[in-house]
């Protein structure tokens, strides 16, 4: 007859249920944090509550400058698709592109084609990298500086009238004939106006701060913003949108030399995601990894260590017993009790402590010392783990009785 012995669970190897009970609180906290972040981002990504949104009264919105323009007779339209933006381009209009770097390569080429022949004004905000090469090929980004109050130091009438303004961010340089640069820092300009082939021009602004509601009343920001955007009777404020069908269209000509310029497909979708979302996701991932490392250290096996203070033996025994019970580790508790009993009775039987765990040495000595009682000494001192707490208590009583009998015999 073959006996099958089940392998008992020890405190070093937790069951899936025990692991789940320990980590569910952390997982719930992470889930709540993620949902809160998504909800906050969704609320702040609404079309009327974004940076440079002409309809937004938020500190970094641009509703104030639009109202000032309308009071001066300038009509303002908000465009969220490329077709809307380019369809109104003309000699009597100014096109402000709030996020030129969010456009795909094909969208940027189409925008450049439409604006270069429109004879109007195009205002590009914080354009850099491949986007600048496509939208203003005669300019280049040279440096990046802080946004602070700067003097114009140029001959541009609008800048000289406005005087000091909050300028900075990306600084530009160009070799184009007739270009005018203002608000210079270390030899490069935070405001650059490039003449086009006809009567139009392209305005490069290194930062959008002069258009923000909370900065419009500072220095000459309002004057400079109104002159840059009010040179034509019509202003089109273009806010690139994820819903723009042109973002998913594949360009028909040319090839792109950078990953951000692949027209259509997944790369275009990713390029349209605001950088705040990407950084927020990265921070959440880093927090989750650090929390996992922290919790993993606490889920390791029990280890012994020297205590910095003296603790009563009864308190230490009771504390260890509670840990065994919490971990449901009856096998480890029984093994500890049996090992301690064998170590204590082995010197009484004339056996070396190193032979206390050898059944063929210890059991004959115990049997020779005690009178026959019908107790299975092998099962008592080297048997399997108890099946339940009641069996563990019974084993404890039997081991105590055995030790007393050895001492008194």
pLDDT digits (tens, 9 = 90+) for 303-317: 777 767 777 777 777
Label residue 186 by pLDDT band (50, 70, 90): confident
* pLDDT for 9: 44
**Rounded mean pLDDT, 393-403:** 89
pLDDT band at residue 13 under the 50/70/90 scheme: low
Q: Is pLDDT above 50 for 374?
A: yes
CA 32 to centroid of chain Cα atoms: 14
What pLDDT was estimated at residue 96?
Answer: 92
Q: Which residue has the higher pLDDT, 379 or 263?
A: 379
When comparing pLDDT for 1 and 373, which is higher? Answer: 373
Q: If DSSP codes are grouped into helix, strand and coil, which group holds residue 166? A: strand
pLDDT at 269 over 70: no
Q: What is the mean pLDDT of the chain?
A: 81
Q: What are phi and psi of 322, to 5 degrees?
A: -70, -35
253 pLDDT exceeds 70? no
CA distance linking residue 149 with residue 161, whole number of Å: 15
Residues 341-362 as b/e (b if ≥16 CB within 10 A, e otherwise) read bbeebbeebebeeeebeeeeeb
Query: Which pLDDT value is given to residue 300?
Result: 59
Q: How far is CA 82 from CA 109, 196, 340, 401, 409, in A?
A: 11, 21, 81, 90, 100
Rounded to an integer, the average pLDDT of 216-223 is: 91
Question: What is residue 53's three-state secondary structure?
Answer: coil
169 versus 303: which is more confidently predicted? 169
pLDDT class of 330 with cuts at 50, 70, 90: confident
- 20-41 mean pLDDT: 79
Q: What is the mean pLDDT of residues 332-349?
A: 88
Give the pLDDT band (50/70/90) at residue 264.
very low
Whether the per-residue pLDDT at 396 is higher than 70: the answer is: yes
């Amino acid at each position: 007859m073959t006996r099958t012995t089940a392998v008992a669970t020890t405190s070093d190897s937790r069951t899936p249920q025990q692991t789940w009970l320990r980590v569910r609180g952390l997982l719930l906290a992470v889930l709540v944090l993620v949902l809160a972040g998504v909800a906050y981002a969704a609320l702040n990504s609404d079309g009327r509550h974004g940076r440079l949104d002409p309809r937004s009264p938020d500190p970094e919105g641009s509703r104030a400058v639009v109202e000032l323009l309308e009071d001066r007779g300038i009509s303002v339209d908000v465009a969220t698709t490329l077709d809307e933006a380019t369809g109104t381009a003309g000699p009597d209009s100014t096109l402000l592109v709030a996020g030129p770097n969010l456009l795909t390569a094909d969208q940027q080429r189409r925008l450049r084609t439409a604006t270069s022949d429109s004879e109007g004004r195009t205002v590009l905000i914080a354009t850099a990298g491949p986007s600048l090469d496509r939208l203003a090929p005669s300019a280049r980004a040279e440096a990046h500086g802080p946004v602070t109050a700067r003097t114009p130091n140029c001959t541009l009438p609008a800048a000289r009238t406005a005087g000091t303004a909050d300028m900075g961010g990306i600084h530009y340089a160009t070799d184009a004939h007739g270009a005018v640069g203002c608000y210079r820092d270390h030899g490069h300009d935070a405001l650059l106006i490039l003449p086009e082939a006809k009567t139009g021009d392209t305005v490069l602004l290194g930062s959008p701060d002069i258009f923000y509601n909370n900065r419009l009343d500072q220095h000459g920001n309002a004057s400079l913003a109104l002159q840059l955007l009010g040179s034509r009777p019509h202003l089109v404020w273009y806010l690139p949108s994820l819903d723009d069908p042109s973002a998913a269209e594949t360009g028909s000509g040319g090839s792109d030399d950078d990953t951000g310029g692949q027209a259509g497909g997944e790369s275009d979708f990713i390029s349209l995601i605001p950088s705040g979302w990407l950084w927020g996701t990265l921070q959440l991932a880093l927090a989750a990894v650090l929390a996992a490392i922290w919790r993993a250290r606490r889920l390791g096996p029990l280890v012994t260590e020297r205590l910095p203070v003296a603790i009563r033996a009864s308190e230490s025994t009771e504390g260890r017993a509670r840990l065994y019970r919490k971990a449901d580790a009856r096998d480890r508790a029984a093994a500890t009790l049996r090992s301690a009993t064998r170590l204590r009775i082995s010197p009484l039987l004339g056996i070396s402590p190193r032979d206390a765990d050898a059944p063929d040495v210890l059991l004959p000595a115990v049997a020779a010392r005690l009178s026959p009682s019908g107790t299975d000494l092998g099962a008592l001192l080297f048997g399997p783990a108890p099946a339940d707490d009641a069996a563990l208590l019974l084993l404890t009583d039997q081991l105590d009785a055995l030790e007393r009998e050895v001492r008194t015999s």
